Amino acid sequence: MSQQTKAKLILKDGSEYIGTSFGYEDSIAGEMVFNTAMTGYPESLTDPSYKGQILVSTFPLIGNYGVPGTLQEDDLFRFYESEKIQVSAFVVSDYTEEFSHWNASLSLADWMKQHKIPGIYGVDTRALTKKLREQGSMLAKIVFEGNDPEWKDPNLENLVAQVSTPEKIVYGNGKHKVLLLDCGVKNNIIRCLLKRDTTVIRVPHDYDFTNEEYDGLFISNGPGDPKQNIAAIKNLQKVFNKDIPIMGICLGTQLMALAAGADTYKLKYGHRSHNQPVVSQGTKRCFITSQNHGYAINHDTLPKEWEPLFINANDNTCEGIKHVSKPFFASQFHPEASSGPTDTEFLFDDFIEMMVKHQR
């Protein structure tokens, strides 16, 4: 590892930070966001919802348990959320090359080099996080000597098209047929569905699912501005006329809201952590959730047929929606969280129960 190679982290507001390289040594530009999780960097780095983003970890020690191998189960990587690293770059306070874990197969630095992802450490991530909390997510770039890239706002691109499957894929052979619209789906969502006796049919983000036969429709998480996904929104509007159960997660929630006629907006710095409290609007019970999203639903714009399902206890943002009479619901957080709390995995059971009732 080239521990002595220096690189600059430059933010759009003009501030600069000097760090030491521990990944692939190439300049990159993107949007800088922070994550407050204390563990789970293999899962976070492979989460398609981070596409185009430079990720700052607030936890100071990164790399100490290395990176797991590429074991596959059900044609999915067992320890990752997708087949590759999705972030544009990784910024940490302190990186250690000496890792120790029973399941580790290589160092984080070697893994990032394999995927050509830059990383720097020795940066004051506390100061960075305070800046992002005060000013909001901002454009940034990591610059190695002799190569200063142009600023790049990934939210102007259709990021979902970059992370969605290009073709139909079928998993499992269960009795409940679920059509999964892949907007950047995390592997553990598919695992959670498969262990509930389903056949999961994964289709591209712009796939016309309006005339397909299935017991339930699932709209996945994904990156970027939900309003970019015009085809998915139009197709959802068509199936809302039916009574087939629909469940959405993260971006899927925003797409369902837009299809219903509500509006979405960009959060100041997003929700990216394992410890976001949400309150069920029916029971007033509070759940601790894992989240990764930069956009939210303006629940004041929901039409009368829809209502909030969960509200964030920190900032009162909408964390889920449901239809008042049809079997449609969605959570802004991740009930399948890996790594992270699984307090709300019961939502998958609710989805299965809706399909069972619909089949009767």
Catalytic center residues: 250, 334, 336
Dump the DSSP string for 110-170: HHHHHTT--EEES--HHHHHHHHHHH-SEEEEEEBTTB-PPP--GGGS-HHHHHS-SS-EE
Neighbour tally for 2: CB within 10 Å? 11
Q: What is the CA radius of gyration of the chain?
A: 20
First-to-final CA distance of the chain: 60
What lies within 8 Å, CB to CB, of 89 at 6+ separation is 23, 28, 30, 54, 55, 117, 118, 119, 120, 142
CA count, 13 A, side-chain hemisphere, 198: 29
| Continuous H helices in 150-289 | 159-163, 187-194, 230-239, 251-260
Structure tokens at 234: 């139009």
Its sign, for the CA torsion 14, 270, 297, 176, is positive
Report yes or no: 327 and 243 within 8 Å, Cβ to Cβ: yes
